[in-house]
Amino acid sequence: MAKQKTIGVGMIGCGFMGKSHGNAYVTAARFFDLPARPVLKGVCGLPLKAAQDMADQWGFEYATDDYKALLKDDEIELISILTPNNLHAKVAIDAAKAGKHIICEKPLAMNAAEAKKMVAAVKKANIVNMAGFCYRRCPAVSLAKELIDDGKLGRIFHVRAAYLQDWIVDPEFPLLWRMAKKVTGSGAHGDLNAHIIDMARFLVGEFEEVCGDMNTFVKERPLPAEGIGLSGKGGKKKGKVDVDDALSFLARLTARGGAKGDVMGLFEATRFATGNKNQNMIEVNGSKGSLRFRFERMNELDFYDATKPQREQGWTNILVTEPVHPYVGSWWPPGHLLGYEHSFVHEVVDTIQAICSRKKEVKPDFEDGMRCNEVLDASLASAKSRKWVKVKKL
């Protein structure tokens, strides 16, 4: 039996996203028939102990606190960039110059201008590049895309989406990096709106103009004392919160094949929606029907078919676990549910297939990430000016 080709993997960042990507690389070749098997080579993180702990737990060959060590490693072909947002551009451009294929978490960059430089770098290097919008790869969302492309919804009228969380409602929750503008760029906006902007682009089309509103409900928070993420604790000293806690915006979009700006959009991102843990939802309404997805019920897609006889019309709940549904055939028997982690596995599968093919193309790529950053920039500017703002295409 011929020895299977391998692809060496390096990972920069070892927090929550590190676990998501680490699991994806370990799992992908065990369920999918891949042209190459990912092999975990090096992981970079700060402090070095955190990187070493991840290396020990997930099976990386070595740990480092210098990401350039991974870029110099000839056995590493693919890099996952999982750092705070302010480091994405520098690390990605360096990785592209080193000829590494890249998966970079969202938002791609701090702003569209920075993202444009990243796009130029990966195009010059002719490498596979993916922006980490994992929700595209939930089977239900992929099925929604297929149904829309098949014309099942007809002419698109509306898209409305919301990403609702409640993890910082407590004013004593510490001021983590996701609430510091110099590190993250924006708050709930860049973290959450980025996902639903990308899903709207994926399913419907391009944004033309936006009109936003935002608020920061808690102006000061305790500085971190111990721990990170949802388990972090604050100390006695406080610091200023200089990003949004919530940002909502209206939008006009152009559907594929439709009139410019003819689709009405409504988007909301907040970390203050008490009772919502990770409620990422999107609904699309058209002349022939509607679709609705809610991540907290990620194995289901709601579909309304208005072309049926009136007595048969009604919302149909599709359990997206059949082998005919996107990605599902490589997993479990029908009715056995998938979870959040599987979307990252699907990212890895599609990236490796792109690397091994001659096309070297995978979606969403860095250009998609830049388009998302353009909408983020415009809606943030609109929220500050309280006026409609056109989305500037770079």
Q: pLDDT (tens digit, 9 = 90+) per residue, 199-216?
A: 999 999 999 999 999 999
Q: Please count the other Cβ atoms lying within 10 Å of the Cβ belonging to residue 73.
A: 18
From 250, 187, 238, select the one nearest 388 (Cα to Cα): 250
Residues 317 and 177 in one domain: yes
| Residue 257: DSSP 8-state | T
What's residue 2's pLDDT?
Answer: 55
Residues 98 and 213 in one domain: no
- Residue at a domain's end among 135, 168, 183: 135
Could you give the C-alpha distances from 282 to 197, 199, 203, 265, in angstroms and in order? Answer: 10, 8, 10, 11
Residues 304 and 207 in one domain: yes
Residues 117 and 147 in one domain: no
Residues 152 and 127 in one domain: no
Q: Please count the other Cβ atoms lying within 10 Å of the Cβ belonging to residue 262.
A: 15
* 345 domain-assigned: no
What residues make up the domain containing 76? Answer: 6-135
* 390 domain-assigned: no
| Residue 114: DSSP 8-state | H
Q: Which residues of the chain have pLDDT under 70?
A: 1-2, 226-232
* 349 domain-assigned: no
What's residue 358's pLDDT?
Answer: 75
Could you give the C-alpha distances from 119 to 89, 116, 124, 368, 377, in angstroms and in order? Answer: 10, 5, 9, 9, 17
- Residue at a domain's end among 105, 135, 165: 135
* 181 domain-assigned: yes
* 394 domain-assigned: no
Specify the amino acid at residue 47.
P
Residues 94 and 204 in one domain: no
Specify the amino acid at residue 268.
E
**CA 343 to chain centroid:** 10
In angstroms, the CA 216 to CA 181 distance is 12
Residues 142 and 130 in one domain: no
What's residue 355's pLDDT?
Answer: 96
Residues 248 and 375 in one domain: yes
Instruction: Please state whether the predicted TM-score (pTM) of the whole model is above 0.85.
Output: yes
How many independent structural domains does the chain possess?
2
- Residue at a domain's end among 135, 164, 180: 135
What's residue 148's pLDDT?
Answer: 98
In angstroms, the CA 254 to CA 228 distance is 40
Residues 30 and 176 in one domain: no
